[in-house]
Amino acid sequence: MARATTSNHSQREDAAMTPPSDPPPVTADNTETEPYTIFDKRQKAIIVVISSIAATFSGFAGNSYFPALPTLASDFNVSIDLINLTVTSYLLFQGIAPSLWGPISDVKGRRVAYLFTFIVFLGACIGLALAKDYATLLVLRCLQSTGSASTIAIGSGVIGDITTRADRGGVMGVFQAGLLVPVAVAPVIGGALAGSLGWRWIFWFLAIYSGVFLVVLVVVLPETLRSVVGNGSLVPNSVMLRYPLRIYQKRSTIQWAPGETEVKSRKRSVDLTGPFRILFSKQAAPMMVYTAVYYTVWQMTITAMSTLFKDNYGLSDTQIGLTFIGNGMGSIIGTLVTGKILNMDYKRVMDQFNAEREKSAAERAVVSSDMETATDSNDTTTDEKGPSDGNTDSVAAAPSRIHNMNAALSVSTSKQPDQAEAVNEKRSLSKQDSPSTTKTKTFPLEKARLPRLPLLSLIQCVSILLFGWSLAYSEKVHISIPILSTFITGWTAVSTLSIATTYLVDMFHDKSAAAGASLNLVRCLLAAGGASFVGPLIGKIGAGWAFTVFVGIQGVAILGLVVQIRWGRAWREEKEKVSRGEKGTTI
């Protein structure tokens, strides 16, 4: 009876320790638990589509602008360098703004953050369409970026709210593919509008597009923030957050037990330093630096494409716009394929982890049983009255205890996969593990998410070299070669970004939007510097050697990936032990 009480107490502690974004544990005694999310497959698809469309605005605002740069310089009577400054400022605010909106969405709700960002974006687009001078253009481009860039970080938070690690890779792949559609089509649309109706219609188009979508978003997208609505079953007191969540709750095909009909949101302050603390944490910094460098080199390639293709192959503005399709298609296809691979890798590693945990648990049970038997035998030798009846029962019960433990593990890993994920990861951290266990290990997230990155990095480096040197010898190399290289570069760069985003959301599941904002901050700031640096360097040493230098920088940056793979798991374990108030460091 004492052991049963201890076991139940341990289960209650494990359930209490489970993070908000992880499912409640499943045990042999209790297999009927609340689902991780009440949103069914169809409802999840709607949420992902809405979030993906929202994320396209950053790309449309940035890429549709490029074809109009020469015309803008002429209309405002300024140099092309000053017009290029509006591109750099856009990238700067694209990196900074999510550090504000991301934490707000992690506390106040996803819908609140979306609403205010789109209002800012809509107002900026109208102002840009009516701009009369260069100063207005520069300031409003910064404001436009402030509104549009954050949709990516908020969308990452939404994906983290409704998915578990087991299916997050595929969903994140779809999300990344959606936000990359503008990379392929926005330059074509922008060029067509600027050439036919004038450059102002680029911004009128964005204003109309964002205004219509804002209405759709408010009507269709439910609140998903887990600290506010839990798994979707709770009803917040705010009208803004309550609707249309109530409709989703009534129409969901997922079976769930309704709790309180109305829950007041907990008072939480917005942590504006959160993205910066994540950025500079040793658990995330190496991965972010590595990802940012590879993203920056990709953006430098895109920035240089227009000038290089025009100077080396004599293309018109319309033809140059078409060359961007290769990069865009590679980006979209790459992230979709990578999402599927992420799910397969995660399932494979989780199966291995489950098998190891079952084997370890069974071995500890046998050792514990043997120790009890040896102790009882020793007592029997020194006791003149002979062996007690309890000893025989204890020995006879050992195989039964082992069988029951294996049965419990079997239920948790096969009956409900989402709940099993939380059970296995939580057990690896639990202090209720056998004292014979000298080291506790979390789920090997790095092994599940990062093994494909070295190959992707190598392929991207080769494609960058191919792009640079094919343009350096353009008189001997057909134009299809550099275009093909941009397809490969887009594929590998976006796949790398998708993997990094998924990994960070997994690691900072309770601050997923802030984690996305951190990555967005470092990659966009680095890309802004790279975009202003690539042109002058190519002018001095040529395209071939310039991109060779960039590949050399990538070679150094891959050390960040090596560090993350080698020590990332230990650092996560150390952080989780500290967050639970335990002493010592897990290595």
pLDDT in tens, 42-69: 999 999 999 999 988 988 888 888 778 7
Give the DSSP H or E segment for 319.
helix 317-382
Supply the pLDDT for residue 259.
54
Give the CB-side neighbour count of residue 344, counting CA atoms within 13 A: 7
> Considering Cα of 291, then 294, then 298, then 299, what sign does the dihedral take?
positive
Supply the pLDDT for residue 152.
82
Residue 27 φ/ψ, nearest 5 degrees: -125, 175
Do residue 209 and residue 89 come from a single domain?
Answer: yes
% of the chain surpassing 70 pLDDT: 78
Give the DSSP H or E segment for 457.
helix 453-472
Supply the pLDDT for residue 523.
87
Q: How confident is the model at residue 480 (pLDDT cuts 50, 70, 90)?
A: very high
Supply the pLDDT for residue 266.
54
Residue 385 φ/ψ, nearest 5 degrees: -85, -5
Q: How confident is the model at residue 113 (pLDDT cuts 50, 70, 90)?
A: very high
d(CA 109, CA 166) in angstroms, rounded, equals 24
Do residue 86 and residue 193 come from a single domain?
Answer: yes
Query: 20 lies in a domain?
Result: no
d(CA 458, CA 548) in angstroms, rounded, equals 13
Q: How confident is the model at residue 402 (pLDDT cuts 50, 70, 90)?
A: very low
**Of the residues 230, 259, 288, which one is the last residue of a structural domain?**
259
Are the C-beta atoms of 467 and 481 separated by less than 8 Å? no
Other C-beta atoms closer than 10 Å to the C-beta of 314 total 9
Do residue 240 and residue 120 come from a single domain?
Answer: yes
**Which one-letter amino acid corresponds to residue 57?**
F
Do residue 48 and residue 158 come from a single domain?
Answer: yes
Supply the pLDDT for residue 557.
95
Query: 381 lies in a domain?
Result: no
Q: Stretch 217-246: mean pLDDT, rounded?
A: 87
Do residue 210 and residue 299 come from a single domain?
Answer: no
Query: 387 lies in a domain?
Result: no
Q: How confident is the model at residue 444 (pLDDT cuts 50, 70, 90)?
A: confident
- Choose among 493, 408, 532: nearest CA to 91: 532
Q: How confident is the model at residue 575 (pLDDT cuts 50, 70, 90)?
A: confident
Other C-beta atoms closer than 10 Å to the C-beta of 44 total 17
d(CA 376, CA 371) in angstroms, rounded, equals 9
Q: Stretch 486-501: mean pLDDT, rounded?
A: 91
Supply the pLDDT for residue 316.
74
CATH code of residue 209: 1.20.1250.20
- For residue 29, CA distances in Å to 358, 401, 407, 408 come to 17, 14, 10, 8
Select the highest-mean-pLDDT range: 24-33, 83-92, 100-109, 128-137: 128-137
Supply the pLDDT for residue 268.
62
Q: How confident is the model at residue 395 (pLDDT cuts 50, 70, 90)?
A: very low
Do residue 253 and residue 283 come from a single domain?
Answer: no
Select the highest-mean-pLDDT range: 165-169, 337-341, 400-404: 337-341
pLDDT of 455 higher than 90: yes
**Token digits of residue 125:** 């687009």
Do residue 192 and residue 308 come from a single domain?
Answer: no
**Of the residues 231, 259, 287, which one is the last residue of a structural domain?**
259
d(CA 30, CA 11) in angstroms, rounded, equals 10
Residue 263 φ/ψ, nearest 5 degrees: -130, 130
Q: Total domain count for the chain?
A: 2
Q: Stretch 468-473: mean pLDDT, rounded?
A: 93
Q: Quick one: CA torsion of 199, 201, 203, 206, rounded to 10 degrees? A: -140
Angle at 58 between CA 54 and CA 63, to 5 degrees: 130
CB-based contacts of 158, cutoff 8 Å, min separation 6: 47, 51, 110, 224
Helix axes 165-196, 317-382, angle to 10 degrees: 170
| pLDDT tens for each residue of 348-359 | 988 888 888 888
Query: 179 lies in a domain?
Result: yes
Supply the pLDDT for residue 140.
95
Supply the pLDDT for residue 408.
42
Range of the domain at 536: 272-350+443-582
| pLDDT tens for each residue of 184-207 | 788 888 878 887 888 999 999 999
Query: 449 lies in a domain?
Result: yes
Supply the pLDDT for residue 87.
81
Q: How confident is the model at residue 581 (pLDDT cuts 50, 70, 90)?
A: low
Supply the pLDDT for residue 334.
85
**Of the residues 192, 226, 259, which one is the last residue of a structural domain?**
259
Do residue 282 and residue 245 come from a single domain?
Answer: no
Are the C-beta atoms of 444 and 353 separated by less than 8 Å? yes
Query: 8 lies in a domain?
Result: no
Mean pLDDT of the chain: 78
In the block, tokens 């949709």 appear at 151
121-135, 375-389, 499-513: which has the minimum mean pLDDT?
A: 375-389
Select the highest-mean-pLDDT range: 196-205, 302-311, 530-539: 196-205
CB-based contacts of 253, cutoff 8 Å, min separation 6: 40, 42
Q: Is 130 helix (H, G, I), strand (E, B) or coil?
A: coil
